[in-house]
Structures are given as structure tokens and as C-alpha cells.
Structure 1
Amino acid sequence: MDSIKRRRPRSPSPAIYKLDDEDGSYEPYVPIAQRRQEKLARLSSLGVNGEKLNVKKLQEELDEREDAQREEEIRREKARKERTLLLEAQEVHSRKAAEDSKKTANEKAEEADAEILEAIKSRRKLASDMELAKGIQYMEPLKTSWRPPRYIRERKPEEDNRLREKYHILVEGDDIPPPIEHFSDMKIPEPIVEHLRSKRIVNPTPIQLQGIPVAFSGRDIIGIAFTGSGKTLAFCLPLIMMALEEEMKLPFIRGEGPVGIILCPSRELANQTYENVVTWCAALAKDAKYPPLNALLCIGGISMNDQSHVLSKGLHIVVATPGRLIDMLEKKRFTFNNCKYLCMDEADRMIDLGFEDDVRTIMSFFKNQRQTLLFSATMPKKIQDFARESLIKPVLVNVGRAGAANLDVLQVVEYVKQEAKMVYLLECLQKTPPPVIIFSENKNEVDDIQEYLLLKGVEAVAIHGSKSQEERQYAIKSFKSGAKDVMVASGVASKGLDFNDIQHVIIFSMPKEIEDYVHQIGRTGRSGKTGIATTFVNMNTSEQTLLDLKYLLIEAGQKVPPFLSTIDDPRAAQGNSLTGCPVCGGLGHGISNCPKLEDAQRRQMASHRTVDAEGGY
């Protein structure tokens, strides 16, 4: 076999790039070593007194001269850069100082608040993972078969606006459906209208008057109204009607549904909403021409086996808390394949730091477009802006300012020393007959108050987050039935719960966040009735919280006690505008010193420290 000769592959000839030299100014680059040799040759060819210069000496002189030149060039370049950066920095600083000098303290404060708000602004809108990943965007709201009566459709826009002004309804959005003053004109089935009439609900409240037509039209809605204004009916009724329509088209069988979901932040509120839905569906089913609708309560602390009879049939409506709902969806006990209605009660809490991740997880189970409804009594600007970005052509329906107190509640604020609170509590209980609710922010204090009242012969129950679900259900049931006169509660009972004929609410310890106070006093003065809210404050209450309380009393036209009147707003002294905080809605402070934001940041830092300690990062 002939040996194969290995040859070194020839490298291709280097490409020659020609530069266009239109003006003839191009000079080819000459390496430094070559330039030195040429210069040395020129110098060595010269004679001094007829003799040749020493080549070695010339070489050394040349090297020294070039080194000196190079160092000088480096020094000049460095000085030029430093001088440029300094001048630029000075120019920027002087320009900013000139702009700042033209701004008032008010404008500076607003800019600082805007920067903070932008920093905490959520970047991702509320949508399913599939929609975000595929970039799916729905441009038009859901279409429904509902239309208002002809005489209302033909009404002029000016008449609709006069009607809204009459009921103090503020609306924002495009193509807003008209307000309707009577349930019958909303085309609600007669059995439900009869049931409402039996409960002395004859005409819709302002939030229902505008909110129900908007929801019936398939529009996304942000509904804001004070406590006890009938928001539950405004978002439950459209879902019942949607489920009824689907069931009458084609009856549901096992494994199908739900049509819609109502999310609540607490078990007690979810249970109350579920009971309302069941009651209204039962009233509808009394008429033989309407089929029965199935509702499921999906909350922690109860066995889902007790509701297996519901899951064994077609499922129309689910009322749930986020944690248990995610568990049921992951176990595939039911799906959201045909779910097209999502409502969040107390929506500002649902989208808040504690539940936002859970809500996004729930969103990921939706397969199709849905109608989204957000309702609350307190919805700060931050949440409203976030909701607008997430919803499809939403309609904002606002009855009064978001976060304003119910005008049917008489607010009494009293200065009571910490050690005198328990004794004075007994005096306050004499103001009105039972039932009475007492709120405290501290769980241990809740138990102490209940024990004290029991020792004094007062029939009292207690409810807070550390109690078992059975204990919580017993407390609410016995209080609602009238078996117990007083309920001592933490904030868990302040959101949305509806108790009959509560005439008096006592706030034993003033909450830090003013929106919690608004919810707590809102347990009385419901459905057009009046009530009293007595609040204890003392040196332990922060001045900022007292300032929020002062402005809330002024806004509601309530009497401001002397010790609150003497508290001055530092923003007024600085000439700042006295707008409400966009994070919590408090009128007595700005976003820069918001207690809710500080608490959220503190919790976030604590969670990071926990992760670091466990080696998670």
C-alpha cells in the first residue's frame, strides 16, 4: 500500500479590503517598529562635523523621546476624560437644580410619590400563564343575550347621567350600559324578585342599579361602594342568570362546570356568600319552569366529602377561598374548561400582596376568555390602576369615594387610657341593646376580652384566625341566631360579613390601616339602617393613624373630638397637596409613609431572610 503523503493545507490568500478614498486623505498604517527603523536610518545617515552619529546612542535617545511622548499622550487623554465627565456631571446637576428651583414643595412631593408608586407597581397583569406566554389579548368583552327594555335603550344619554347624579353614582369607561331603577326592568325572573320583596328589598341600591346592568351586559366591572350597600347581590345575580341560561340550553351532567367562580379572602365571607347563592337559587327553583342550580362551597377547614353529592352532578357555581380552590383544581375534582365568570369580593385584599400569587395560579386554570368582576368598599388607586390594566374595557362603578365611611354610621371616637379600657367597655355596652361586635387587632386581646365579659355575666363568643373552623362557625352561628349577645373578633370578621340588626360596633384597639377601620365600622348601618361605632384611642395609637381618622370624620360630616382637632398635618405646613394615599386610601398621609406599604415591605424582607436562612438562594 502506497504511503499517503500528508500535506499542510494551504491557507487561502488573505482577503484584500479596499477602502473608498474619495478625498485622497487615507494614509496606510505603518507599524511602530518599522517607523523606528526608518527614523533611525534617516538620523544615522546625517553627519555631525563630517562624522557618523553613534547608532546605539541614537536608538536610546529615540526610545526615551517616544516613551516621554506616549506618557504625555496618556496623561492628556486621562485629563481630557476627567474634565469631560466632571463638566457633564456639573451641567446635569446645575440643570436639575434649575428645574428643582422652579418646582414647588408640592410638586416635589408628588414626584417622589409617583416614583415610589412606579417602583411598587406590579408589572404583570392578571392573566393565565398560557395567555401571557402566547401573548393572547382579548380586545372585546364577552357577548351576552341580555338587553335592557326598549324604552331604556332609547333613553338619551343625558337622562342616564341625571339618574346617576340622583343616586351619586360615578362611572368611567366606554359604552356604559344604562342604569335601571327597577328589578323587573332588569329582566330578573319573577321568583327571585318575589323573594327579594319578601326580604323587604323592593328597589335596587345605587351599586345594584348600575352594577347589575353592566354585569348582565358581559362587561368587566370594578365596583366600589360603601359597606352594607348590597354588593353581594350585584355580583351573585349575574352569575346565577348566566348559569341558568347555560343549564336551560343543555343540562349539565357529572364532570361539567362550573360556569362561574366567586373568590373571597376569608372562610366566613365565602360561607356567607355561598348561603346567599343557595337561597336565591332555591327561590328560583320553586317555580317548576326553572331547573335547579348546583353550588359548591370550597373553603379550608371543612371536608369536601360532605359535598360529594354536589360534585356527583353538574356544577354551576363555586364559592371559594384561594387555597382550597387551588387544591381542588390541582386534584382535578373539577376544571375551568368552560368557566367564563370570575368575581373577586373584597378585591383589594384578593389582589394584595398576600393573595396575588394565588390569584395568578387560579388564573392559569382558565382555558378561555372570562368576564371579570372586582368588588370592594375600599379600593385604593394602586389597585384600581392595576385592575384597569388587567380587565377588558372595564367599567368603573363608584358610589362615593373608595374607602369612604358609611354615612349611616355615627362615629364616636373617645380617648381611653389603656388600663381603663376593660372597665369602660362595660359602660359602652349599655349604649344600645345587643347584638354588639367588639373588634381588636390582637388575638390574645380578643380572648382576654371574651373571658372578662364572661366573668361579668355577658354572653360572648370570640373569633380569630387561630381558632379552628368549628369554633369559628359556632361563634358566627350562635351570634347570628341571637343565642349570644356579643361577638369579640379580630380583623377576620370585618370583611364583608353581614349580621342582622347590629346597632353598635366597638373598636377596642384602633387598627393601623384606616381601610380596616372602615370595614369594621361597616358591620353596622347596613341596608339603609343606622348604627353607632365607638372607637377607643390613646397614646398607643400612632399620630398618623389619628390623622387618617380625623380626615375620615371630617369627610363623613362627623363630630371631631378636641384631641383630634389639635393634630396638625405636616404636609399642610410644607404646602403639599392633601390627596389620599394611592396604596391604602388614607387621607392623612402620602405613599412615602404609608403603614400598609411599610408592613408589606417588612413582610417581604422577613420572607427573604427566611429563605436565606434555609439556604434557598
Structure 2
Amino acid sequence: MSDTEYVPKRRRVRSPSPPKQSNESDDDNYVPYVPVAKRREEKFAKLQSWGVRSGRDRPKRPQDEAEEREAELKEEELKKEKARRERTLLLEAQDVLKKKTEQDAKKTVDEKADEEDAEILEAIKSRRKLASDLELAKGIQYTDPLTTDWRPPRFVRDRKPEENERIRDKYHILVEGDDIPPPIESFRDMKIPQPIIDYMKSKGIKSPTPIQLQGIPAVFAGRDIIGIAFTGSGKTLTFCLPLIMTALEEETKLPFVQGEGPVGIILCPSRELANQTFENIGAWCGALAQSGKYPQLNCLLCIGGISMSEQSHTMNKGLHIVVATPGRLIDMLEKKRFTFNNCKYLCMDEADRMVDLGFEDDVRNIMSFFKRQRQTLLFSATMPRKIQDFARESLIQPVLVNVGRAGAANLDVLQVVEYVKQEAKMVYLLECLQKTPPPVIIFSENKNEVDDIQEYLLLKGVEAVAIHGSKTQEERQYAISSFKTGKKDVMVASGVASKGLDFNDIQHVIIFSMPKEIEDYVHQIGRTGRSGKTGIATTFVNMNTPEQTLLDLKYLLIEAGQKVPPFLQSIEDPRVAQGRSLSGCPVCGGLGHALSNCPKLEDTQRRQMASHRMEDTGGY
């Protein structure tokens, strides 16, 4: 250790500061809020104690008046805010409800019903119009319809509007739209090639039907069209003939080679209807080619259940026309077997089904493959107001051609409604088959019942075939071909055969089980009484048939001037007791119920909920 010792430094210990004494002056600085009125009284009292004249005696300065006004406004705002806080939301809701009740009391029953229907329609209204995703995303909108080279004859162009209206009234044609092309009463004046006219004459078609004499000129002129007409009135020819003429024009200008086309597409909701349309187009195109004056047009059938390789000879050429069901068409487009780069014609047969819940997304998907503006045609015998409004929003300056009320029954069909107990249906069915000679179609909504009816008829020695959605495509094609050729006398079918199928010389249709939706009934009885011929439709009803369906049937019979049996007459409409007017349902077209009771709407909502549950549970 060194001589110098280490002396540690002494740390200064800081004495704790004395506790801070509370300062009374801090409390004195606090000034409580004093209302304006009280401050004014205190100020007035102080002035009086000084011997100064009161405010009434001396004139106020502008600055004082401004301060007082500002203070008064603030005080009023505070009072209002306090009142607003004291007023609860419950009181406000009661006031709103009271005002609504007073307004509702002034409205009539019909006005209330219309408002309810409008609310339901708004709730189920489609959010997007019928257009491709690209057009919707980019905001592409077409304002003018397509232009064509077709012109009606001069004497037709020179007609006065009154003369055109007289012709439409003569054939009971209702039209809506701007700049509507004139009706033409002759195929020759429509400038249709002579080979097709000769072929139609050989099939007994000598002059256009009402839907054709107005619809064909409108389509020839390039207009989008909504076509509504009775079953068996010639709608297929109305939309097929202009497509054939368009394809013929394109082929004549420059022949198609492999990979080109199609010019137009026809969408159908069922394979059977697509196959029938394909056969009709093939016959008309064949008549053109056989004349030797026109080139051969290639048509492709694109439906599920068949091998597309069987049509490879058509696929290896340029395509002019494609007839398809949505599912198989999407598959072919995604595989790029052909494209819609030059496609400018789209027709949907049974359009109310095509744009309904089941196919609407598929139709939008198909439209996304179009690269240009197209002419869009929608045809059906039953097109409710909801579908019509939706179509008007989606089409470009559409022309609505309506022959009769949308959803009305064919007037050429004698409708017979009979009350038959469930256990007696099979026996009575044999009696009904004796009314007319074959062929006869029997409809049932249940697939198992279809098979049971066929088996019963076969046991009784009746040559019968059956068709429904669970059968293979080969079985379905065999049933239809054997029935059409007369090998089989009776065809038992589900709803798959009720839409658009055309059978020759059917005099009798038996509806074994009445469908819930009245528009299905209209399509089913429409398999007879086609092309100006008459037919009979016998319908079995009993206690199992919903009363609302029976009421729809009652009004349909009254509208068509048919005999209404006593048990249907006895069914009363609840809307009459409520004092409401009777109008058709905008969703299904039924006359016997309001929108709130529509069976089609209920079924649609049920399917939507089921699909949502499938998505939530991963499909299990």
C-alpha cells in the first residue's frame, strides 16, 4: 500500500424536499361555469351599485349587442342538444311508425299490394345485366343495333304506319319498341331463297304465322328481339331462318376454312330441344345445298351425352352455326375447339328458363367469350314480366313481339280437367287412352312415377317408352325417335320433354300429375294443337294438388274460354275477399296468386339456400 492513502469521496446526501404545501391560490383560480342569464344579473347589480344608469337608460354599444346575441345563440344550442339527448331512439321510431301508419291508411288495397310486389321484385332483381364480364368491367355499352344489308320491298317501305298497325291488329300482334320494322305477310316478300320456300311448302308451311310475319323482318333488320307466342306457333323458324341467311351471306362473301366460325349460336335448355333444332336447321340448309345454287352450310350439335368426335368431320371445316346446351358449350369454348371471335348472333330458345337461376351464370360465362357486339334474341311461350324487364335492360333497343298474353294457353287445345283419386289414376289412364288414336304423351312430375306408368302400360299391352332426366342420352334419343317414327304409341315423360319439342299429329296429351308451376302446365299441353291443328289435353287433379295451383288453372281455363268444372268453380280467390284487383304474377305469369305466394319464387329461394349450404359445408 502506498504512502498516500485512498480517501473515498464523500457523497452529498440530498435532503428530501419538504412536501409541497397546497396552495390555496390554485383553488382560487378555478372558476365554475355561470349561466349567461346569471352573469347578466350580477353585472347589472354591480352597475347599479356604482350608480351607473341601467342598460335600459343608456344606449348599448354594438360590441355589447353582438356579444349578447352570440351568448343567446349558444344557450339555445345547448337547450336543443339537451332536448335531443332526452329524446330516445324509441320515441323517434314510434313517430316514424305513426307517420307510416297514417300514410298506409290513406292507400288503397291495390296500392299496398303493388308496393309489396315492388319490394319483392327489387329484392330478387338481378344485380347485373346480361353481358360479358369484360363489358361489365370496362363499362362497354352498345347504344345502336347492328346494321344489315337486308331491306324490305319498296311497297312495304312505302306503307303508312296506320296500315302496318292494321295488319298487326288483324293477327293480334302486340309490339313495343322504337322504329319497329313493318310486318310482311309473305315469305317471298321477305326475300327468302326459293329452295327454302319450296321445302316449307312441302311441309305444309305456305304463309308466315303471326310471330313470323313480324319477328322475321325485325331479326333481318338486325334488331334485338323478345319474341313471345303460343306453343306450336312457329318460333323456331323465326329465329333459325335469319341465322341461316346471315351464315349464307358470310359464306358467299368469303368461304369459311378450318378454325373459322361460327357466325351464330342457338342456346337451348335441354338436349332434346337442341337436337330437334339442329335437325330443322340441317333440313333447311340441305334444301339450299341441293338446289345447286347455294353453298353447303356447316352446323354443329354441341350437347352433353354425345361424343364430339363423331362430328369431327364438321369440326374440321369452317363452322357456320352451333346449336348447344350451356354446359357442353362452355366446355368446348374453354378447350378452344372453336371461338366466338366472329360470332354476331345469339339466340336463346325457352329464354325464361335460360336466364333463370339454373342457367344465368352459364349464360354470362358464354357471353364472356364474345369479342364484338352481337344480335341477341330471346324466345319463349311463357315470359313473365320479371324476365321481360330483365331482358329490356340487357338488350339494345329491343323489339318486343307478343302474340297473345305471355303464359297464356294455346287456344287450339281443348282443356279437360277431371277429378281423379290418387289410387284410381292408373285405371282411369287406360280409359283416357281410348279417347283418341295414338300417338299420346303422358306427363308426370315424378321420375319414379314415369317409370311406374310405363311399366303398367307395357303390362297392359300398350307400346310405351319413357323419358326423364335420369336416363342416358342413348335411351332418351331412342325414346324420342321411336315415338316420332310411330314405332311406339305412347311416350311417358317428365318435364324434360315439355319445352319446345315438336311431335307430329299428336291429338292427345294426358297430364297425370299437375305441375305446381302453371307455366309448366302451359308448355305440357302445348305438345298438341300445334301448327294450326287442334288437340285435347286431359289433366288429373285431386286433393294432393295445391289449392293455389288449382286457382291458377281455373283462371287459365276462363281466359281460354274453356269449360270450368264445378269443383274448380267452388275455389274462391282470397284476393277477391280482400278487395284486391286480379293481375298476373310477374315471376311465373300465374293469374291465381300474388307475387308473395308464387311457387316458382319459393322454389328458387329454396334452391339458392341449398346451394349456399353446399358452399358453406364444402359440398357435403
In which range does the TM-score fall when normalised by the shorter chain? 0.7 to 0.9
What is the aligned partner in structure 1 of residue 95 from structure 2?
Answer: 91
1:495 to 492, 499, 503: 499
Question: How far apart, in 2, do the equivalents of 1:199 and 1:471 lie?
Answer: 28
Give the corresponding residue for 1:535.
539
In the alignment, the residues of structure 1 paired with residue 531 and residue 580 of structure 2 have an alpha-carbon distance, to the nearest angstrom, of 38
Q: Find out whether 1:173 has 2:177 as its counterpart.
A: yes
Partners of 1:78 and 1:335 in 2: CA distance: 70
Determine helix, strand or coil for the equivalent of 1:140.
coil
Residue 611 (structure 1) shift: 1.9
2:108 counterpart letter in structure 1 = T
Distance 1:359 1:37, change over 3 A: farther
1:372-387 aligned within 5 A: 372-387=376-391
Q: Aligned residue for 2:463? A: 459
1:105 Cα shift? 1.8
Aligned counterpart for 1:357 among listed residues 357, 361, 364: 361
Out of 596, 605, 608, the residue aligned to residue 612 of structure 2 is 608
2:435 corresponding residue in structure 1: 431
Q: Of residues 396, 404, 412 in structure 2, which corresponds to 1:392?
A: 396
Equivalent runs, 1:131-210 vs 2, <5 Å: 131-210=135-214
2: CA distance between counterparts of 1:40 and 1:400? Answer: 86
Q: Return the letter of the residue paired with 1:38.
A: N
Distance in 2 separating the partners of 1:512 and 1:427 = 25
Instruction: Provide Cα deviations, 1:159-204, integer angstroms capped at 9, x if missing partner.
Output: 0000000000000000000000000000000000010111110000
State the partner residue of 1:557: 561
| CA-to-aligned-CA distance 1:19-52 (integer Å, 9 cap, x gap) | xxxxxxxxxxxxxxx99662379xxxxxxxxxxx
Of residues 121, 126, 130, the one that matches 2:125 is 121
Match of 1:239 in 2: 243
Alignment length, in residue pairs? 553
SS of the residue 1:184 aligns to: coil
SS at match of 1:474: helix
Tell me the SS of whatever aligns to 1:288.
coil
Could you tell me which amino acid in structure 1 is paired with residue 29 of structure 2?
Answer: E
Structure 2 vs 1, CA of residues 526 and 82 (structure 1 numbering), >3 Å: closer, same or farther? farther
Residues 477 and 82 of structure 1: is their aligned pair in 2 closer, same or farther, counting only changes over 3 Å?
Answer: farther
Aligned to 2:134: 130
Equivalent in 500, 507, 525 of residue 521 of structure 1: 525
**Separation in structure 2 between the aligned mates of residue 526 and residue 40 of structure 1, nearest angstrom:** 98
Q: After TM superposition, give the deviation of residue 110 of structure 1 in Å.
A: 1.3
Superposed CA deviations along residues 525-569 of structure 1, whole A, max 9, x for unmatched, are 000000000000000000000000000000000000000000000
Closer, same or farther in 2 for the Cα pair 1:76/1:474, shift >3 Å? same
Q: 2:264 aligns with which of 260, 264, 274?
A: 260
Q: Distance in 2 between matches of 1:494 and 1:346?
A: 11
- Look up the match of 2:308: 304
SS of the aligned residue for 1:560 comes to: coil
Seq. identity, %:
83
Q: What residue identity is the alignment partner of 2:317?
A: K
Q: Distance in 2 between matches of 1:90 and 1:597?
A: 33
2:476 pairs with one of 456, 472, 496: 472
One of 401, 404, 415 as aligned partner of 2:405: 401
Consecutive unaligned residues of structure 2, counting only runs of 5 or more, are: 1-24, 33-76
1:330 and 2:321 are equivalent in the alignment = no
Choose the corresponding residue for 2:580, options 572, 576, 582.
576
CA–CA distance in 1 between the matches of 2:526 and 2:288? 30
1:342 corresponding residue in structure 2? 346
Match of 1:69 in 2: none
Distance 1:405 1:439 in 2: 17
Tell me the distance in 2 between the aligned counterparts of 1:194 and 1:153.
Answer: 26
Alignment partner of 1:509 out of 496, 510, 513: 513
Residue 269 (structure 2) pairs with residue 278 (structure 1):
no
Query: Equivalences for 1:10-25 in 2 at 5 Å?
Result: none
* Pair 1:545 & 2:536 matched: no
> Which letter does structure 1 place at the counterpart of 2:197?
V
- AA matched with 1:400: G
Q: Give the distance between the partners of 1:612 and 1:371, measured in 2 at CA.
A: 39
| AA aligned opposite 1:281 | C
Work out whether 1:481 is the aligned partner of 2:485.
Answer: yes
Matched, 1:219 2:210: no
- 1:87 Cα offset (Å): 4.6
Distance in 2 (alpha carbons) for counterparts of 1:193 and 1:407: 27
Instruction: Please list every run of 5 or more consecutive structure 1 residues that lacks an aligned counterpart in the other structure.
Output: 1-33, 42-72
Q: Which residue of structure 2 lines up, in the alignment, with residue 441 of structure 1?
A: 445
Moved more, 348-357 or 281-290: 281-290
Q: Does 1:416 align with 2:407?
A: no
Task: Give the Cα separation in 2 of the matches to 1:94 and 1:327.
Answer: 58
For 1:76 and 1:465, the matched residues in 2 are separated by 70
Question: Secondary structure in 1 aligned to 2:87?
Answer: helix
The range that moved more, 488-497 or 86-95, is 86-95
CA distance in 1, matches of 2:611, 2:130: 23
Give me the whole-angstrom Cα distance separating, in 2, the residues matched to 1:87 and 1:422. Answer: 65
Distance verdict in 2 for CA 1:474–1:74, change over 3 Å: same
Residues 37 and 386 of structure 1, relative CA distance in 2, 3 Å threshold: farther
TM (normalized to structure 2)? 0.87
Distance in 2, Cα, partners of 1:429 & 1:524: 15
CA separation of 1:578 and 1:288: change in aligned 2, threshold 3 A: same
Give the 3 Å change call, closer, same or farther, for CA 227–82 of structure 1 in structure 2.
farther
Q: 1:148 to 1:565 in 2, by over 3 A?
A: same
C-alpha distance in 2, partners of 1:299/1:162? Answer: 43
Letter in 1 for 2:30: K
Partners of 1:265 and 1:36 in 2: CA distance: 88
- Partners in 2 of 1:422 and 1:37 — Cα distance? 105
Name the larger-Rg structure.
2
Which residue matches 2:7?
none
Name the structure 2 match of 1:13. Answer: none
Distance 1:289 1:544, change over 3 A: same
Name the residue aligned to 1:57: none
SS in 1 for 2:30: helix
Provide the C-alpha distance between the structure 2 equivalents of 1:175 and 1:493, rounded to a whole number of angstroms: 38
